Structure 1
């Protein structure tokens, strides 16, 4: 189980990814909208909420949706069916991210590239306002890589400190989904 309060996974939990920010940019495509100059939150872990249980459960739901996206992404990338990719990612992503990622997975595969390995999500801060939320993450993707699917040769490796900001929206079904991921540089 993920320790959402501390923003960490236990040592036994690993999350595969499309290796690091380099490939995240490929998969997220135009989702950054040029907002790389955003003022970053404090790098200290968030304090345990002191508000009501309802607030805590909403924050937990946001953290869960964000983390699960990173589990669904490599499963979708490895799937040979576009329908299955959309189904997997549609549980945790919505527009414009969903179509951008699906299109960019196709472009990745067209270049005979695929991913392997895992990342560790380190959620630093969560802000919730109504049906919108923002998550700041400092991912460790040092064990993630991109490789040529024909030769197996590694073409890219992840880094220990990819800083991301994700925005999420709560749908009419009550589920939180990511609609934008913005790389913020290193953390």
Structure 2
């Protein structure tokens, strides 16, 4: 999941023979902060995939990015949403302004713009709801035994926030 960032350099081989004899460079592991940001964003991408999957497949779709208690909360929420004939549409615009890492735990704060996301009728696709700008989300993440960061809890605070530019 990592790629060269601007400013990174990869030494050029001196000949074609050197190119074939040189193993491909191993990308450096991502920092904890990068992994936390990726896990948080991925929850929003995999949620809709799990909604459209068969109930028995949803846990496997969410498990790489969510852990308990959020995993159970999402599974129950998806079941309730689907029972109403609804799905989610769109994605919020993230304005993550703080990531506080303490050992194997982290707290992320996001002032997202959720106006281009909401719920829709699954049958007709008609958009029924939409989110709001300045939605203050706080996510707790855990680095699990496999070394992967997963979102454990998400809370929407009642007070609005201001995105940091």
| TM-score in same-fold range (> 0.5) | yes
Specify the alignment match of 1:139 in structure 2. Answer: 112
Specify the alignment match of 2:12 in structure 1. Answer: none
Cα distance, 1:139 vs. partner? Answer: 1.2
Larger Rg: 2
**In 1, distance between residues paired with 2:90 and 2:34?**
26
Aligned to 2:128, what secondary structure does the other structure show? strand
Q: How does 1:27-46 map to 2 (within 5 A)?
A: none
Matched, 1:65 2:51: no
Specify the alignment match of 2:86 in structure 1. Answer: 113
Instruction: Output one character per residue of 1:131-176: Cα deviation in whole Å (capped at 9) or x when no partner.
Output: 0000001111111131222343322111122110000011000000
Specify the alignment match of 2:145 in structure 1. Answer: 172
Matched length: 135
Specify the alignment match of 1:123 in structure 2. Answer: 96
Aligned to 1:106, what secondary structure does the other structure show? helix
Q: How does 1:154-165 map to 2 (within 5 A)?
A: 154-165=127-138
Instruction: Output one character per residue of 1:1-49: Cα deviation in whole Å (capped at 9) or x when no partner.
Output: 99xxxxxxxxxxxxxxxxxxxxxxxxxxxxxxxxxxxxxxxxxxxxxxx
**In 1, distance between residues paired with 2:37 and 2:127?**
31
- What are structure 2's unaligned runs of at least 5 residues? 3-27
Q: Which moved more, 1:107-116 or 1:147-156?
A: 147-156
Aligned to 1:70, what secondary structure does the other structure show? helix
- What are structure 1's unaligned runs of at least 5 residues? 3-52
Aligned to 2:66, what secondary structure does the other structure show? coil
**In 2, distance between residues paired with 1:71 and 1:175?**
17
Q: How does 1:78-117 map to 2 (within 5 A)?
A: 78-79=52-53, 81-117=54-90
Q: Taking structure 2 as the reference length, what is the TM-score of the superposition?
A: 0.75
**In 1, distance between residues paired with 2:83 and 2:39?**
29
Instruction: Output one character per residue of 1:73-100: Cα deviation in whole Å (capped at 9) or x when no partner.
Output: 1111122x12321111101100011011
Tell whether the 8 Å contact from 2:44 to 2:91 is kept in structure 1 after alignment: no
